[in-house]
Amino acid sequence: MNFKELNVIGPILKALEKEKYESPTPIQEQAIPHILKQRDLLGCAQTGTGKTAAFAVPMLQLLSKKGGSGKGNRSIKALVLTPTRELAIQIYDSFRTYGQFTNLTYGVIFGGVSQVPQEQVLRTGIDILVATPGRLNDLIGQGLINLKALEIFVLDEADRMLDMGFLNDVKKVIRQLPAKKQTLLFSATMSPDIMEIANSILVKPEKVSVTPVSSAVDTVQQVLYHVDKGNKKELLKHLLQDPTIDSALVFSRTKHGADKIVKDLERANIKAAAIHGNKSQGNRQTALSNFKNRVTRVLVATDIAARGIDIDELSHVFNYDLPNVPETYIHRIGRTGRAGLEGTAISFCDFDEKPLLKDIEKLMGKKVPEVKNHPYPMVVLTPAVKAEPQRPANPRKNSKAPVQNQPRAAGTRKQQQKTHCQ
């Protein structure tokens, strides 16, 4: 199967060829024909599967056949709603890449930055808008965006949208959309909450799904170290003395934490760099290419920054902090051991993280083998804090801090009800 056989039109084929996409990924093969037939779609797929092109390519095709809006005409014809700035920029870049030989125009809006440049782009007239929900509602409220002429609506990463407390914002956006439109909903997991949204916004949807990376559970060698929070950095430096660790991706829960880990490693003469949402695009690209070229041995990332990043030859993944959502553990460890290479996932677990470990082991249906004999065994056996800080109902309203790294309580009901696609 190639893109031509999926009836993708010349200008888009040319862009895909330029990108060196030889054949469609499974989600693209399944989704593109349905979307071209203007059907609603429920897609169960995560970032990294080629999901963006699966919706962007047919959307570009449908809209370019009608002709772009032209300058000054503000009728937005397609809206992609996605939870984070990082994803919004990635999706916008994808539209620009795949649509570079069409006459369509694109815009991206997200919070945390001045809205003035975004207003200017909107004024020039755009066909396809990629947005995060908060800023979109702000601009709609100010009368700067009108979605009455919308033809295609994409709700991307619906599960993450709910995790981040954006449900009300999403519902508010949906109320602005015309009743008659094509709707595509993508989510990495399908919980009852997601199905409820899907049922309320999709009309006789086609369903497509791709297998999650759960096979990593069996192929990647996993090990666990119980260690005190304050000793994690020492343990990391100790383990990195092993010269067989060529390249390590270290996951930190917070951006600040990622920066601290890098500083600490550099003090020990271990070449490291961080990628997260506070770094500029250029900065992240440099960090990534240095890592890929083996200039930097350790890349420290937050989950959101690591999403969608392709690193094929990765020998080790470190869970410096355990993730709050157990599925994230599987996605993280699936980043190593690709293409037949040996892969090892090393997890640190402090006393407060024990419930998170329990959730992960429950999801995998097996225990992570523990290394008991190491120089920094856990000695603190009481909680460091009385309770994990709870995520506010709407983080945007209560805090200026970006929401992506706010901790959430482990083992909530909704989390346990989540299921993979298949």
Question: Where does this chain bind ligand AMP (CB under 6 A)?
Answer: 21, 24-25, 28, 47-53, 308, 310
Nearer to ligand AMP, 51 or 391 (CB): 51
SS (H, E, C) 159-218: HHHHHCCCHHHHHHHHHCCCCCCEEEEEECCECHHHHHHHHHHCCCCEEEECCCHHHHHH
Residues in the chain: 422
Phi first, then psi, for residue 212 (nearest 5°) are -70, 175
Least distance to ligand AMP from the beta carbon of 208, Å? 14
Least distance to ligand AMP from the beta carbon of 211, Å? 14
Least distance to ligand AMP from the beta carbon of 2, Å? 10
List beta partners, residue 273: 299
Nearer to ligand AMP, 21 or 320 (CB): 21
The answer to whether the CB of 42 falls within 8 A of the CB of 204 is no
Q: Which residue has the tokens 């690591």?
A: 306
The answer to whether the CB of 90 falls within 8 A of the CB of 308 is yes
Nearer to ligand AMP, 49 or 69 (CB): 49
Nearer to ligand AMP, 2 or 168 (CB): 2
Least distance to ligand AMP from the beta carbon of 100, Å? 14
Nearer to ligand AMP, 86 or 163 (CB): 86
Greatest distance between any 2 Cα atoms in the chain: 68
Least distance to ligand AMP from the beta carbon of 50, Å? 3
Nearer to ligand AMP, 242 or 310 (CB): 310
In whole angstroms, give the CA distance from residue 345 to residue 403. Answer: 27
Nearer to ligand AMP, 24 or 323 (CB): 24
- The full DSSP string for 290-349 is HHHTTS-SEEEE-HHHHTT-------EEEESS--SSHHHHHHHHTTSSGGG---EEEEEE
Burial of 321 (0-12, 13-18, 19+ CB in 10 A): buried
Counts for the chain of helices (H) and strands (E), in that order: 18, 13
The answer to whether the CB of 404 falls within 8 A of the CB of 301 is no
Nearer to ligand AMP, 24 or 165 (CB): 24
Burial of 269 (0-12, 13-18, 19+ CB in 10 A): exposed
Amino acid code (one letter) for 200 = S
The answer to whether the CB of 386 falls within 8 A of the CB of 418 is no
Least distance to ligand AMP from the beta carbon of 403, Å? 21
Least distance to ligand AMP from the beta carbon of 56, Å? 8
Task: Give kind and range of the element (H or E) at residue 155.
Answer: strand 152-155
Nearer to ligand AMP, 82 or 137 (CB): 82
Least distance to ligand AMP from the beta carbon of 49, Å? 5
Burial of 249 (0-12, 13-18, 19+ CB in 10 A): buried
Least distance to ligand AMP from the beta carbon of 122, Å? 25
Least distance to ligand AMP from the beta carbon of 295, Å? 21
Nearer to ligand AMP, 172 or 292 (CB): 292
Task: Give kind and range of the element (H or E) at residue 272.
Answer: strand 272-275
Q: What is the side-by-side strand order in the sheet with 344-349?
A: 221-226, 344-349, 316-319, 248-251, 298-301, 272-275
Nearer to ligand AMP, 82 or 191 (CB): 82
Least distance to ligand AMP from the beta carbon of 8, Å? 11
